[in-house]
Amino acid sequence: MTPARSRALAAATLTALLLTAAPAAPTHAAPGRPAAPPHLAGDHTVPVYSYADAVRESVQVETPTDADGDGVRDRVMVDLVRPRETAQAGVRVPVIMDASPYYHCCGRGNESERKTYDANGVIAKAPLFYDNWFVPRGYAFAAVDLSGTARATGCEDVGGRAEVAGAKAVVDWLNGRARGFTLDGEPVTASWSTGRVGMIGKSWDGSVANGVAATGVRGLETIVPISAISSWYDYQRYRGLLRASDYPAYLHQVVNGRPAEACAAVLARLRADSAEDTGDYNAYWAERDYRRSVEQVRASVLVAHGVNDLNVTTGQFARWWDALADRQVPRRLWLYQAGHEDPFDVRRAEWVATLHRWFDYWLQGLPNGVMREPRATLETAPGVWTEQRDWPAPGTRNVPVALGAGDGTTGTLGGPGARPGVVRAYTDESLTEPQVVTEPTTARAGRLVFLSGALTAPLRISGTPSVRLRIRVDRPTTALSARLVDYGTAERIQYRSSEGVRTLATESCWGESTVADDACYRDTAEITAVTDHGVLTRGWLDAAHHRSLRFTSPLRPDRWYTVTLPLNAYDAVLPAGHVLGLVLAQSDPGFTETDDRDATVSVDLGRSTLTMPVTGRATLPSAPVAPDVVTAPAAPSDGRAAPPDNRQLPGRS
């Protein structure tokens, strides 16, 4: 397909999606009332303003923090694009804002776009399509450099007070509560703004949106966190286990836009206060745990997340979602099969249509019915989408599943289980994931495998599974890891390869363009393959944190302990004929770092249970002694090599 034809097809598709609601109402006013702005057409906004002639300006907004300790309040840089025609007519507009640490160092989106500026230092190109699409429709767009990054002053404290306060200050400035300055240092206000702000962003950017919403700042009407963090502890620690060493410092150094000496003290505090030596949850992590302040959230929330995201794992959205639900916060959810991806690169036309209607409702106040639609949009298999009333799926119930001894090599999952006192033991072998999950009926040191029988009907898992284990450990601690695996041939998203999305040669355009900032992006497609198994979800725990994440409780070798290991949230339908597997291991070099190896763990099967959130009255058939599950051969052992560096950037693409 040629680029021109691709653009035309995308435009036609999106037009149809946007105009399926009520016909546009005339824009003339009732007698005695002012005429509605031309960008308002009934229940949606339309592109009537020139993007090429838009006002482009760069504003420094003063924050309440002095992170670099220079005696002067920090300033974040706000690069703005807004309609010139509304400014000339005295019509105020709402603001869509993406606050990011990546505008200078790493870029945004699938094509890693960066900001560019004209000779006067004023924004010429903002990454992504938000300004191209929404500015002609009566919105302003703000691309904000977070404290200590790009052209901002201060220091980046990785999810902490300075980062959140800097982005919040922009919302305050747009509402007349904070000070702004031109590049020449002259005071400037946002008199053109309605004060209604919607924050959007992927991963780190979306995490900032979560953090600002948790302050309860007035004027922030909605947030759209995509693959976002709601607790930085859960991102850098897996229930007491170190994901990677020196992680906070690594993230700070990657995005830092200041001279190293300006932020040396902040960097030292990141290293000292994050408690890497213990893995404990402390005051440092509490400051970066936005779920603790969920009761302050005033904004509506549109969450998007890939169910196979191994960078920002699904527990981040699920625990945030549950907390929002408890507070009855208006919310919607998109879940898709890819990994750490933006839905713009998964289901482009439908996502843009959803964003358009969401912002029209929450920022323009247009009664388009978006909040009367099903709350959850899900991709249940590659390219198969559905909508449901809520998430987890309505009717989901937590079902306990017994662990059985099986044939001595492979245990059973479901059925009568094992009597108390039936014990199986395994010694830490630091296995890679392929070694852990392949050939489940083959004896392999370092793991325990439990299999159901072949499913007699499809099994829907929707929510957060967990494993309750009764264990005895011959060391003061060890890493514990667990996986749910779908054994059976199916076409699956290959999320370990480019997050499950490939970039195509064609492109499509989403909004208006200028010479400096085009609205055209390379098209994408899911990467799929027919495989004989797929890992559904994973979970990890440092056994010495079984009582609390705030302190360690070393294990005694003569005692039995009950530990609960939550797995990451998931949503999947296992077809009839497939087999569900639970695989237990210890240290996990592909995901965590630990020096606590070589432990032997004994598991009392009769007092251990898998809890699964399932819909309907589905049950797991008991497995035969030797279930007929064919899998690929295991990867060659890498022995006891040092674990790889598991540090990732939360949201480069």
How far, in Å, CA of 269 to CA of 281, rounded? 16
> Helix, strand or coil for residue 429?
coil
Is the separation of the CB atoms in 61 and 169 below 8 Å? Answer: yes
Name the residue among 320, 350, 386, 323 with its Cα closest to residue 571.
386
Helix (H, G, I), strand (E, B) or coil at 332: strand
Q: Would you call 525 helix, strand, or coil by DSSP?
A: strand
DSSP 338: S
Which H or E run contains 143? Answer: strand 140-145
Q: Please report, for residues 124, 233, 265, 284, 494, the alpha-carbon distance to residue 269 in angstroms, rounded to integers and kept in the order given.
A: 36, 16, 6, 10, 39
- Give the C-alpha distances (Å, rounded to integers) separating 647 from 55, 113, 312, 644, 650: 40, 22, 11, 9, 9
User: Taking Cα atoms as reference points, which of 585, 536, 302, 546 lies closest to residue 426?
Assistant: 585
Paired strand residues for 58: 79
Q: What is the DSSP letter of 612?
A: E
The answer to whether 172 and 217 are in contact (CB under 8 A) is yes
Cα–Cα distance between 239 and 245 in angstroms, integer? 15
In DSSP notation, 479-527 reads EEEEEEEEEEEEEEE-TTTGGGEEEEEEEEE-S---SSS--EEEEEEE-
Which parts of 551-644 are beta strand (E)? Answer: 561-566, 570-574, 579-585, 600-604, 609-614
Distance of alpha carbon 202 from alpha carbon 325, whole angstroms:
22
d(CA 149, CA 163): 10
- Sign, CA torsion 612/616/621/622: positive
CA 342/CA 421 separation, integer angstroms: 48
Q: In angstroms, rounded to a whole number, what is the distance separating the alpha carbons of residues 309 and 496?
A: 9
Looking up tokens 């606590």 gives 596
Cis peptide before 34 (omega within 30 of 0): no
Provide the 3-class DSSP secondary structure of residue 397. strand
Phi, psi (deg, nearest 5) at residue 238? -100, 85
- Identify any residues that bridge with 242 across adjacent strands, giving them in sequence order: 237, 593
* C-beta neighbour count of 186 within 10 angstroms: 8
DSSP state of 274: T
Calpha distance 54→138 (Å, rounded):
11
Measured CA distances, 542 to 315, 449, 472 (Å): 17, 20, 14
Distance, CA of 86 to CA of 400 (rounded, Å): 59
For 77-99, give one letter per residue: b (16+ CB within 10 A) or e.
bbbbbbbbbbbeeebbbbbbbbb
* Three-class DSSP category at 100: strand
| Cβ count near 553 (within 10 Å) | 14
Catalytic sites, residue numbers: 203, 309, 340
